[in-house]
């Protein structure tokens, strides 16, 4: 089994998990209702407008959201042509389900960190999921997406915004 650690974020193919591998795994599962939750930094879509906001925030010395490294937009990086990366990720997430009912919920946008605190003893995303699991006797996939997103945003003061993709927003099913 391949292990994924020491990811080079300048070259994610070095140590990172290729999205095609996730896609192939989900496609090989015969169930029509599938949920993939990813609690990892930079796990969601990347939008070019978000990259511009990051560049503006990184230039504002009065704003400090965290003590760790900060993602800086590289103007010299290869461009995606007429499609921005958000559109590309929408295509990838749409392709992942290929009519099989796969829903993907990512802890953060592609430009964000998945925040953790010692107080919660988990990442904020996982903590919010566990709280929902404990407090709700049943939950649909649409309710899970909506509630986990709003709770993570609230707990991080908007610094972390989960993202999600599914075959269709009309396709809802009971997660538990």
Calculate ∠ Cα 149-6-19, nearest 5°. Answer: 55
pLDDT score, position 151: 96
pLDDT score, position 59: 60
List the beta bridge partners of residue 122: 117
Mean pLDDT of the chain: 75
Q: What is the pTM of this model?
A: 0.65
CA distance 33 to 62: 45
CA distance 138 to 174: 7
List the beta bridge partners of residue 38: 106
Sign of CA dihedral 144, 149, 150, 154: positive
In the predicted structure, residue 75 carries a pLDDT above the cut 50: yes
**What mean pLDDT do residues 136-143 have?**
94
- Residue 57 structure tokens: 């925030």
pLDDT score, position 7: 75
Please state the φ and ψ torsions of residue 165, each to the nearest 5 degrees: -140, 145
**What mean pLDDT do residues 99-103 have?**
67
All structural domains of the chain with their residue ranges:
34-166
For 84-97, b/e burial (b = at least 16 CB within 10 A) is bbbeebeebbeebb
- Residue 150 structure tokens: 């709003």
pLDDT score, position 73: 46
Please give the share of the chain, as a percent, with pLDDT higher than 70.
61
């Amino acid at each position: 089994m391949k292990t994924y650690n020491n990811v080079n974020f300048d070259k994610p193919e070095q140590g990172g998990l290729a999205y095609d591998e996730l896609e192939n795994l989900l496609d090989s599962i015969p169930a029509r209702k599938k949920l993939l939750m990813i609690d990892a930094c930079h796990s969601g879509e990347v939008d070019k407008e978000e990259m511009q906001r990051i560049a503006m925030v990184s230039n504002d010395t009065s704003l400090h959201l965290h003590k760790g490294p900060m993602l800086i937009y590289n103007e010299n990086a290869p461009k995606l042509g007429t499609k921005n990366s958000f559109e590309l990720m929408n295509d990838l997430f749409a392709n992942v389900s290929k009519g099989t009912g796969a829903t993907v919920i990512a802890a953060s946008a592609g430009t964000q960190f998945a925040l953790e605190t010692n107080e919660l003893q988990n990442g904020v995303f996982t903590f919010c999921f566990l709280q929902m699991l404990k407090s709700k006797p049943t939950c649909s996939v649409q309710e899970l997406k909506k509630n986990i997103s709003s709770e993570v945003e609230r707990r991080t003061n908007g610094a972390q915004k989960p993202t999600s993709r599914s075959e269709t927003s009309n396709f809802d099913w009971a997660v538990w």
